[in-house]
Amino acid sequence: MLRSAIILLLLASVQFSLAADWPHWRGEARNGVVAEPSGWDGKNWIKGELWRRSVGEGSATPLVVGDRVFLTGWNGNQDSVICVSADTGQEIWKQTYSSPKYGRFALGDQGFYSGACATPEYDSDSKLLFTLSIDGDLNAWDTTTEGRRKWSLNIYDRYGAKQRPEVAKRRRTRRDYGYTTSPLVIKNQVIVEVGGNKGNLVAFDKNTGKELWTSANRDEAGHTGGPVPMTVQGVSCVAVLTLRNLVVSRIDGSRAGQTVATFPWTTDFGNNIPTPAVFGDSVIVTSSYNHKSMCRVRVTLRGATKVWENIEIQSAVCSPVIHEGRIYWAWRGVHCADF
């Protein structure tokens, strides 16, 4: 999380008509893995800058859908949602709304982040773009009508989340960065880590904003990049690293919101930041603030079991990528470990 302007650099070597879309936090499969070539020639990836554009402060990643790029940024007490041409960088449409630079209960580390921090979520069926501001404004934008806002609500106001408490063993490590987690669309629902008085997760109807269910788990929201879809013994679930635990919840039918598994995980400074990495029946969690390790957790419908934990490896911010039996991450260097 860097307190700096978002600058998008698009490379002349990229052929947008052939490239895969990047419509979600961590890409099409939500795991940071893509099948297309990287462009690496043995020395460089970058072949020449095609265009650049500043969109304000924040740390949300861009989305690429077809020939369009969706961006968010903060400037002058406003969040902007911007659609530009992937080929030229020219603005196609822009929507703005009032938003503070920090969340209403912000505490600590304001030199490291500001503005729009949650990556937007694009739904290919409805063509809606969902954004979540640092102060809890959840918006649905219709990308077919120049970003017209279809519905909105503020999750602080509706669900009464309080300032995140001290959860570490040491004193004076309390932190609150506001809302940083990306919304997650699965079928007709958009799932948001709320951490309020009705549950850690809340699912809304993606077309209307109507509440569909809340999770049995009531932990405060963590500071990760977003919830992660997971299938557990054939059951649709979602994994989320809250302020206190790795929690896996069902999202199917009448049982939606029920807790499948809980695995304790807390850090100094409320820094449960790296998004959990899901692969099959396992989840990789990691942190580097007092709880300095990386851990593989196996999940069944009966709960969670630790497969291994290694205190010699960890990531403080970067979410791990799992590919062909190995785990990759960047934290003070680039690292690889056996899954």
Give me the CATH number covering residue 100.
Answer: 2.40.128.630
Answer whether residue 17 shows pLDDT above 50: no
Least trusted range by pLDDT, from 13-17, 43-47, 139-143, 234-238: 13-17
Write down the pLDDT at residue 13: 34
Give the DSSP letter of residue 144: G
Q: What distances in angstroms separate CA 318 from CA 85, 178, 233, 289, 327, one per listed residue?
A: 28, 19, 28, 13, 12
Query: Whole-angstrom Cα distance, residue 161 to residue 178?
Result: 10
Local confidence band at 14 (pLDDT 50, 70, 90 cut-offs): very low
pLDDT tens-digit map of 225-242: 999 999 999 999 999 999
Give the DSSP letter of residue 116: B
Query: Whole-angstrom Cα distance, residue 274 to residue 322?
Result: 13
Query: Whole-angstrom Cα distance, residue 67 to residue 50?
Result: 15
Closest CA relative to residue 85, chosen from 64, 66, 68? 68
Closest CA relative to residue 130, chosen from 85, 181, 197? 181
- Domain region containing 236: 5-338
Rounded to an integer, the average pLDDT of 203-226 is: 97
Rounded to an integer, the average pLDDT of 174-184 is: 96
Amino acid sitting at position 109: D
Write down the pLDDT at residue 18: 52
Question: Percent of the chain beyond pLDDT 70?
Answer: 95
pLDDT tens-digit map of 44-61: 877 788 899 999 999 999
* Beta-carbon count within 10 A of 312 CB: 8
Q: How many domains does the chain have?
A: 1
